[in-house]
């Protein structure tokens, strides 16, 4: 869980990088896919990612929005995993009435 938290923080830090101008040819969907992959790689390896080249030309505001969507999805998935784990644990703890 700490790795996911660190990965989310790393992804938001990537989104905070500035200095790229807006380009009408930039593809937000490709950027989102690349950020999603960066997030998964960070979760799997624990290493900090970097801003994908495909995100060059995306405005900082749009990049922050995309990163927020990716992080939100990751957190939603994590909460679902926790909920399922709790359900499994509670089922294991249930005892039959005497």
Return d(Cα 41, Cα 35) in angstroms, integer: 10
Whether residue 88 is contained in a domain is answered as: no
Whether residue 57 is contained in a domain is answered as: yes
Angle at 43 between CA 37 and CA 46, to 5 degrees: 120
Residue 33's pLDDT band (cuts 50, 70, 90): very high
Domain that holds residue 51: 2-78
pLDDT at 2: 55
Whether residue 92 is contained in a domain is answered as: no
* Count: domains in the chain: 1
pTM greater than 0.75 (yes/no): no
Whether residue 27 is contained in a domain is answered as: yes
Whether residue 96 is contained in a domain is answered as: no
Give Cα 11 to chain centroid, integer Å.
Answer: 7
Whether residue 87 is contained in a domain is answered as: no
Whether residue 85 is contained in a domain is answered as: no
């Amino acid at each position: 869980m700490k790795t996911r938290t660190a990965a989310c923080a790393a992804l938001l830090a990537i989104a905070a990088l500035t200095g790229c101008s807006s380009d009408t040819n930039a593809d937000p969907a490709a950027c989102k896919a690349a950020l999603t992959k960066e997030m998964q790689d960070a979760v799997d390896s624990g290493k900090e990612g970097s801003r994908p080249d495909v995100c060059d030309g995306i405005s900082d505001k749009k990049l922050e929005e995309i990163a927020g969507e990716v992080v939100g999805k990751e957190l939603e998935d994590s909460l679902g995993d926790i909920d399922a784990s709790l359900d499994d644990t509670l089922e294991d703890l249930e005892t039959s009435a005497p």
